[in-house]
Amino acid sequence: MDHSNPTARWVAVSNGIIQAAGKEKDLNLPEFAGFAVIDCRGKTVLPGFNDAHCHLRAFAESLVTIDLRPSPEAFKSVNDIKSALRNFCQNKPKGSWLRGRGYNEFHLAEKRHPTRWDLDEIAPDHPTKLTHRSGHAHVLNSLALGLVGISKETGDPPGALIDRDVNTGEPTGLLYEMGQFLSERIPPLDPQELLYGVELANQRLLSLGITSVQDASHLNDGKRWKEICSWKTAGLFRPRINFMLSPVELERFGTQHLSSSVGENQLRLNGIKLILDETTGQLHPSQEELNRTVLKIHQSKYQVAIHAIEENAVESASAAIDYALKKFPVSDHRHRIEHCSVCSPPLLKRLASLGIMVVTQPPFIFYNGDRYLQTVPEHQLEHLYPIKSLLEAGISVAGSSDCPIAPPNPLIGIYSAVSRKSETGKTVGEREKIGPLDAILMFTVNAARVSFEESLKGSITPGKLADLVVLNGDPTKAPADEIKDMEVEMTILNGEVVWEK
């Protein structure tokens, strides 16, 4: 990924830093006397992958809760979900919380979300929360609704929606955009369960060649920062972490309390994460409020990362960044829009003119493509995740998984960007295919650039951190359909082999 030295036969590493990369076959050079040699036997070595948008704590939690993701063998109906809950709660004491994650109503036979009454049938004595695959909707049973204080009389929180029975007005248990509301009222996972989830997440990410992650949770606060510091200090989580902070936390406490002894290359503050959505039928927050918030963050010299999916939201996000730049011009601000799922040509030009970066999720094409083809209007489908158009407009585009929303395998993301194929092989947006080199750049060079770390990561260049991944094939030369089946042979982080197949 180093444009000045595109391919090499060997790379030399010491003290956690890349020292040299060369084309010669002979490694018997005086300066490398005493170096240990790892023979990759013709395999492909790339920079360690960087997932530019994920949710670290939610990913760890997802690995120790009920996995409700649909598959050919499981979770094809609401009854399948009920059966899983029944099995899970048999040995759980009454009153203990049940948690499940990843259900997708599109793949259920009933084509609907579960309701409180479905969950009541199975677990009337266990407060239960199921999280939708998107992470933006939850279903609670009656006991859980009571414990968090939601009843027929409860009004919708700002920007959120409580789904109700059309005849009685009773909450159905389905809640949209109420993650923060619930996190403040539902007890966290048992600490030992969470730590086990962190260990599993660590191994999973390393096995996929991921050496850096950017934690994009809008609920991140000082408590979570300290929690991650403890994971790092204990050696539970090895990949490097860029941490986004909640704007509420920034407003209350600033960032002076976010100190760490693990080193900036292991854990650093990446920016401030904002959520902009249309759950209630109108944008929340309002344009005026968003402008104020973005300007305040911008003037504080922090990077802004705005969650914006639909075209209206992307337009609103770009308008807020434009407002901030006019008030307080900065040439290399690197403010980001997360997702940018629908983006028409005029909007592409606007993003480019403002120097806005985009962090998007190619794996969604693979995992959600069939649903997109059935549910996204034709006029939007041609502008859905328009990666090629973004790149042609001169916009820096980084790749990510949004895990646990999608599995965090970068090779699936690279395959999706190259092939634009869904799991069943249907093509979603033929024109937006990109080449494999550009796809790899999204998860390496570009991912480093969106966090101001291109001098440290993203390419196999002398002086950069020695984070490398060895693959059993070359994605730049293999047929597109083979990329998704490639595997990681070895992951090297800071010059140390941290995972081997």
Give residue 323's pLDDT: 98
Q: What is the CA radius of gyration of the chain?
A: 23
Q: For residue 276, with 0-12 CB atoms within 10 Å meaning exposed, 13-18 middle and 19 or more buried, which class applies? A: buried
Least-confidence region, from 117-121, 223-227, 280-284: 280-284
Give residue 433's pLDDT: 98
Query: What string of DSSP letters covers 454-465?
Result: TTTSSS--TTSB
237 closest CA partner among 215, 270, 220, 269: 215
Residues whose CB falls within 8 Å of the CB of residue 326, separated by 6 or more in sequence, listed in order: none
User: C-alpha angle 80/85/87, rounded to 5°?
Assistant: 95
Contact 133, 404 (CB under 8 A): no
207, pLDDT greater than 70:
yes
Least-confidence region, from 16-25, 333-342, 451-460: 16-25
Structure tokens at 216: 């994009």
Q: What is the pLDDT of residues 92-138, one digit of tens each?
A: 899 999 999 999 999 899 999 999 999 999 999 999 999 998 999 99
Question: What DSSP designation does 154 have?
Answer: P
- Which amino acid does the sequence have at 180? Q
Q: What is the pLDDT of residues 64-89, one digit of tens each?
A: 999 998 877 788 899 999 999 999 88
Q: pLDDT-based confidence at 156, cuts 50/70/90?
A: very high
Dihedral of CA 377/372/273/468: which sign? negative
Q: In whole angstroms, give the CA distance from residue 342 to residue 483.
A: 26
Q: In whole angstroms, give the CA distance from residue 57 to residue 119.
A: 25
**Strand 17-22, strand 10-14: pairing:** antiparallel
Contact 214, 53 (CB under 8 A): yes
Helices 345-354 and 311-327, packing angle to 10 deg: 30
Give residue 26's pLDDT: 66
Domains in the chain with CATH codes = 49-55+190-454 (3.20.20.140), 65-183 (3.10.310.70)
Contact 123, 98 (CB under 8 A): yes
75 phi-psi bin (left φ>0, alpha ψ -120 to 50, beta other): left
Q: In whole angstroms, give the CA distance from residue 220 to residue 365.
A: 28
Give residue 214's pLDDT: 98
- Which amino acid does the sequence have at 125? D
47 closest CA partner among 465, 438, 486: 465
Least-confidence region, from 22-36, 182-196, 383-397: 22-36
Q: pLDDT-based confidence at 206, cuts 50/70/90?
A: very high
Indicate the average pLDDT of the chain: 95
Residues whose CB falls within 8 Å of the CB of residue 404, separated by 6 or more in sequence, listed in order: 55, 58, 59, 62, 101, 102, 135
pTM greater than 0.85 (yes/no)? yes
Print burial letters for 231-264: b (CB count within 10 Å at least 16), e (below 16).
Answer: bbeeebbbbbbbbbbbbebbeeeeeeebebebee
Alpha helices in 90-178 (DSSP H): 116-122, 142-148
- The CA–CA distances, whole Å, from 463 to 332, 379, 407, 459, 481 equal 23, 47, 32, 10, 35
Q: What is the pLDDT of residues 312-338, one digit of tens each?
A: 999 999 999 999 999 999 999 999 999
Give residue 74's pLDDT: 82
Mean pLDDT of 425-448: 98
Provide, rounded to the nearest whole percent, the portion of the chain with pLDDT above 90. 89
Give residue 254's pLDDT: 83
